[in-house]
Amino acid sequence: MSATGAQAAATGGAVTEDERDPRHHAQKIRHMLDDITTHAREDVDRVTDPRAKVLFETTTETLNGLMKVYDDFDLKKREAWG
């Protein structure tokens, strides 16, 4: 069962205020992206295949850009976020 499912079960199916806040979910996803970025960065030094190195470096760069968007959303920096 997911953490959200477990929380809903623990509260009798009610959704908590945190679960309604999109920033709560964005922060959780942002943390997961950070974990993946760290893993990919570490793997660059672990593999010898040049194509794999490029793949992991590209993954790191792409996820860094995506994390910036999540940070901006969390800080409401972009006009599109309201």
| Residue type (1 letter), 67 | M
CA 66 – CA 58 distance, rounded (Å): 12
User: Which tens digits make up the pLDDT trace of 5-58?
Assistant: 555 555 566 777 777 888 888 899 999 999 999 999 999 999 999 999 999 999
pLDDT of residue 82: 60
CA 37 – CA 59 distance, rounded (Å): 7
Tokens of 37: 């970025």
∠ CA 5-8-12, rounded to 5°: 140
User: Which tens digits make up the pLDDT trace of 57-75?
Assistant: 999 999 999 999 998 887 8
pTM, whole model, 2 decimals?
0.70
pLDDT of residue 60: 98
- How many residues make up the chain in this entry? 82
